Amino acid sequence: MSEFSIENIGLKVGLEIHQQLSTNKKLFCSCAPLESNEYNIKFQRKLRAVKSELGEYDPAALFEISKSRTIVYYANSDSSCLVEQDEEPPHNLDTDAKNLVLVIASVLESNIFSEIYPMRKTVIDGSNTTGFQRTMLVSQGGHIDVDGENILVQSICLEEDAAKLLNDKGNIREYSLERLGVPLIEIALEPVEGNPKKIKKIALSLGRLLRSTKKVTRGIGSIRQDVNVSVKNGGGVVEVKGVQQLDQLEKVIEFEAKRQHGLVKIAQKINSNFVEISKINDVFDITDSFRNCESKIIQKSLKDNSIIKAIRIRNFAGMFSYSPYEGIRLGKEIGQLVKFYGIGGVFHSDELPNYGIEEKDLFIVKKLLEIKETDSFLIIAAPLEKIDFAINSIIERIGKAKNGVPAETRLATPTGETIFLRPRPGASRMYPETDIPPIIVTKEEIEHAKKNIPRSWDDSLKDLGKKYDLNLQLAEQIFDSTYLEIFENICEKTTISPTFVASILCSTITNLERNGLNPKLLKNKEIIKSFEFLTNKKITKESIEIIFENIMSGKSKTIEDAIRNTAIETISKEDFELIIENIVDANKDIIRNQKERAVSPLMGIVMKKYRGKISGEAANLLLLEKIRKFLENDL
């Protein structure tokens, strides 16, 4: 095993960014995109084969169908209507979304088409009630400048977001519809050579460009990156889906580059005498021969009436366990592949005897398959209706191993690895949307878009810093956060220092989140209300953190509840004076000793007891006043 170095492997990455647009309506109906987990509509569908109008079945579609699923949809009538349920044709395209995508295309100097043709893209995982996603190619070409380098834009599309996956268990998959039909802009960049850091920088710049319009949704899940990754002499391009964070993006590219280069090394090691596996001559049914095998997995499969088959691979010994880099093995690839069919039981000769499969069992297999020293074999246990499908895909995968990297779609894991998702979809995935006429883009609309190009990210930061007297770091933090809009709202509505507001929104909430609390429980409305309470002196600066902590830990829902539950109702002016006087009375010796400097230890006593209930600033002033008065009269 060698150490992986990402330099000089000819890494190429094409970024595809999907960003939700923050409009008041969905793309093809008047529903508002509201997040809610209360549903008053429920219906279900069976996945069916959709024959695309070009006449060919889509391989990715067939793949999903092979898993035969029932899809259950949940909807809230506030955020979805008959359009999302596929009971009514789409309405007209939302003009706000159209105008915004024209603005973004203009910023990137992309060539906008005068006619846009809505298309249907087959989706078969159930994430769309119609079985397709509507997408429109708006423009082609263009560029974005990143650190002085000109990164080229391939295309810009306007499309519908998919339904949100709630649950995926057994043969039932559940989705909710509030996100279905929300406008998305898809920006595909030309593949660039470079390292993961550079790609992350490009994604960051593009994200900032989008955010500078102030009309895109912020926060986790509102921007998603797909990456097309390839390495020199690797063979296929791999599409990795579902990257939601920039740090994850960097790790995913790093992992995928290592995996692909590992597969190239595996290909180089494959024996030149390796012959393609024959479905007829190299696959053997060993169900009966394995009845006495004591492996728990085999015995469970036999009890479930599964079939057990063995596949012979001539001149392939050692290839499944050969690990050019840590965690990269052909055996692992095969394991992930069959897992996709819901099959857990696949064993390769390099790892046996193991898992309860003993020498005596292997003796039977080797004899039946006429295995020589240089050969290898696989044992697979699966239900009758799945086994041949799985075996065909294994044979195809091993065949492709000699070419390096197979073109496929993979899924990014939260820890930054990638796992097999499905084969790359075929070209027949798109066909025209017949329910919507072509959309005309007028010269006036393009002119209007060009006039509405937003200030650049750098200028926006300077503007923000100047307007609210924020330092650059805080301005950057607030601009990249999910809270820019609330921040501006609070600064307009209240007289509180913008720097204080920004640091609560950026640092305090983030710190609480790092401690495991849930920021989603803290609704925007409550954040704004808390600063209004602060302006009206109903709460103190110090209590904001206590309140947010209480809400983010799920103990309260509203500010009012949190104030009650944490008992931080502010103390009346009279009581406040009394408290301070009592503390002065009880600590006469300290004051006599330290004179005015006693304010410091006494403040400690006050704040320990009344943190959140009284303002630290006011307490300090009053305490100093009382100490001075005491010293004057203490003769």
Q: Cβ of residue 31: shortest distance to Zn ion, in angstroms?
A: 3
Q: Cβ of residue 135: shortest distance to Zn ion, in angstroms?
A: 18
Q: Which is nearer to Zn ion, 22 or 110 (CB)?
A: 22
Q: Which is nearer to Zn ion, 31 or 319 (CB)?
A: 31
Residue with tokens 């004591």: 294
Cβ(526)–Cβ(551) below 8 Å = yes
Q: Which is nearer to Zn ion, 84 or 226 (CB)?
A: 84
Q: Cβ of residue 559: shortest distance to Zn ion, in angstroms?
A: 33
Q: Which residues pair with 614 in a beta bridge?
A: 611
Asked whether the bond before 353 is cis by omega within 30 degrees of 0, the reply is yes
Q: Which is nearer to Zn ion, 29 or 103 (CB)?
A: 29
Q: Cβ of residue 22: shortest distance to Zn ion, in angstroms?
A: 17
Q: Cβ of residue 620: shortest distance to Zn ion, in angstroms?
A: 56
Sequence-distant (6+) residues with CB within 8 A of 97 are: 21, 23, 25, 27, 158, 183
Sequence-distant (6+) residues with CB within 8 A of 355 are: 295, 297, 347
Residue with tokens 């728990």: 296
Please tell me the distance from the alpha carbon of residue 483 to that of residue 502, in angstroms, as a whole number: 9
Q: Cβ of residue 181: shortest distance to Zn ion, in angstroms?
A: 6
Q: Cβ of residue 91: shortest distance to Zn ion, in angstroms?
A: 8
Q: Please measure the distance between the N-terminal and C-terminal CA atoms of the chain and give it in whole angstroms.
A: 84
Please tell me the distance from the alpha carbon of residue 596 to that of residue 619, in angstroms, as a whole number: 14
Cβ(346)–Cβ(379) below 8 Å = yes
Q: Which is nearer to Zn ion, 1 or 82 (CB)?
A: 82
Element housing 151 (H / E): strand 149-160
Q: Which is nearer to Zn ion, 34 or 172 (CB)?
A: 34
Q: Which is nearer to Zn ion, 31 or 266 (CB)?
A: 31
Q: Which is nearer to Zn ion, 81 or 464 (CB)?
A: 81
Q: Which is nearer to Zn ion, 80 or 295 (CB)?
A: 80
Q: Cβ of residue 29: shortest distance to Zn ion, in angstroms?
A: 3
Q: Which residues pair with 192 in a beta bridge?
A: 13
Q: Which is nearer to Zn ion, 182 or 209 (CB)?
A: 182
Concatenated DSSP letters for 47-115?
Answer: ------TTS---HHHHHHHTT--EEEEEE-TTT--TTTTTSS---PPPHHHHHHHHHHHHHTT-EE-SE
CA torsion angle for 156, 159, 161, 163 (degrees, to 10)?
-140
Q: Cβ of residue 434: shortest distance to Zn ion, in angstroms?
A: 20
Residue with tokens 């898809």: 186
Q: Cβ of residue 90: shortest distance to Zn ion, in angstroms?
A: 9
Concatenated DSSP letters for 545-577?
Answer: HHHHHHHHTTS-SSHHHHHHHTT-PPPPHHHHH
Q: Cβ of residue 21: shortest distance to Zn ion, in angstroms?
A: 16
Q: Which is nearer to Zn ion, 29 or 502 (CB)?
A: 29
Q: Cβ of residue 95: shortest distance to Zn ion, in angstroms?
A: 16
Q: Which is nearer to Zn ion, 178 or 254 (CB)?
A: 178
Half-sphere exposure in the Cβ direction for 440 (13 Å, CA): 3
Q: Cβ of residue 24: shortest distance to Zn ion, in angstroms?
A: 13
Sequence-distant (6+) residues with CB within 8 A of 604 are: none
**How far apart, in Å, are the Cα atoms of 16 and each of 66, 144, 185, 226?**
28, 14, 10, 5
Q: Cβ of residue 102: shortest distance to Zn ion, in angstroms?
A: 23
Q: Which is nearer to Zn ion, 41 or 446 (CB)?
A: 41
Half-sphere exposure in the Cβ direction for 329 (13 Å, CA): 15
Please tell me the distance from the alpha carbon of residue 478 to that of residue 464, in angstroms, as a whole number: 9
Q: How far is CA 84 from the centre of its chain?
A: 23
Number of C-beta neighbours around residue 83 at 10 A: 21
**How far apart, in Å, are the Cα atoms of 140 and each of 27, 106, 134, 219?**
21, 11, 18, 28
Residue with tokens 């898993």: 67
Residue with tokens 């706000």: 96
Q: Which is nearer to Zn ion, 82 or 440 (CB)?
A: 82
Residue 274 DSSP class: -
568 burial via Cβ count (<10 Å: 0-12, 13-18, 19+): buried
Q: Which is nearer to Zn ion, 35 or 585 (CB)?
A: 35
> Rule CB under 5 A: which residues touch Zn ion?
29, 31, 81, 83-84
Q: Cβ of residue 562: shortest distance to Zn ion, in angstroms?
A: 35
